[in-house]
Amino acid sequence: MANLKEIRNRIASIGSTMQITSAMKMVSAAKLKKAQDAITQMRPYSDKLTELLQSLSSTLDGDVGGTYSKQREVSNVLIVVITSNRGLCGGFNSSVIKGTVQYVKDNYAGKQVDLLTIGKKGNDLLSKTFKVIENHNDIYDDLTFNNVALIAEKIMSLFAEGKYDKIELVYNRFKNAATQITTIEQFLPIAPIEGTVNVNTDYIFEPSKPEIVLELIPKSLKTQLYKGIRDSFASEHGARMTAMHKATDNATDLRDDLLLTYNKARQAAITNEILEIVGGAEALNN
């Protein structure tokens, strides 16, 4: 059994760890509230904009909208992987990284697959296996729509130039603080709504339908990428808050066990001292 000093040192060390994890939990909880509000307010707008664009694009032929909706034979694929810059958030990053690797293995065997990473953790690990054409770790320093739009424009140009036949997003979709859903979402080409042939002809489009599509396409794609990064950002703070809560609980249990061990060892030491004193007194009397 460890001596009392060693146990006291371990208890003090665990107490310091508890203070750190508890503080990190509170910081993540404060950031989560703001990030959660941002994504929940944005999601309905993004979903409706995407639905409208898909409906309109499915009725157009020729060059209008074709740049971003034309289906090509898939030979070159770009996957945009969204992770975080920091760890200590449970399985948040590993789920995206493992999901990306497995998805490529299952669906794109024998094809050229490149990555564009957003977040340091994903880049550090996936760059060992895949070709990473760009890495944007700094986006979290100032996460605004305008900054994300610049990245979206680069991705859109790669598709328009024919360098990639398909582009997909992989990220954690925020459900609640304890649950994040690894999501794989097609970015380009724009996929028409399944089962939809034509938009209701009762609508009157002003300006013309092609002009509306040309205006909506860039905005919709930029919004889709921004929503994915916002989803991941909220998921990161939820995962970190949950992880730090569990770490604090585990540290508390370990501290309680050590306190019990310390008290037992201290009681045993006191008992031995009493026995020695009694034994010495009896020896003197004899």
CATH of the domain at 43: 3.40.1380.10
What is the mean predicted confidence (pLDDT) over 165-184? 94
**pLDDT confidence bin for 281, thresholds 50/70/90:** confident
**How far apart are alpha carbons 27 and 245 in whole angstroms?**
12
What pLDDT is stored for residue 272 in this prediction? 85
Could you tell me if residue 249 is inside a domain? no
User: How many angstroms separate the most distant Cα atoms in the chain?
Assistant: 116
Could you tell me if residue 253 is inside a domain? no
What pLDDT is stored for residue 2 in this prediction? 59
Determine the Cα angle at 107 with ends 67 and 46, to 5°: 50
For residue 40, which amino acid is it?
A: T
**How far apart are alpha carbons 187 and 191 in whole angstroms?**
8
Could you tell me if residue 164 is inside a domain? yes
- What domain range is 90 assigned to? 21-243
Count CA atoms closer than 13 A to 34's CA, side-chain side: 5
**pLDDT confidence bin for 273, thresholds 50/70/90:** confident
What pLDDT is stored for residue 58 in this prediction? 61
Cβ-contact 153, 115 below 8 angstroms: no
What pLDDT is stored for residue 65 in this prediction? 56
**How far apart are alpha carbons 154 and 80 in whole angstroms?**
12
Could you tell me if residue 163 is inside a domain? yes
Q: Which residues contact 91 (CB under 8 A, 6 or more apart)?
A: 239
Enzyme catalytic residues? 89
Could you tell me if residue 170 is inside a domain? yes
- Tokens 């610049």 found at: 150
Q: Which of 54-63, 212-221, 226-235, 256-265 has the highest mean pLDDT?
A: 226-235
Could you tell me if residue 111 is inside a domain? yes
pLDDT digits (tens, 9 = 90+) for 28-48: 999 999 999 999 999 898 888
Tally of domains within the chain: 1
What pLDDT is stored for residue 285 in this prediction? 77
Question: How confident is the prediction for the chain on average, in pLDDT?
Answer: 87
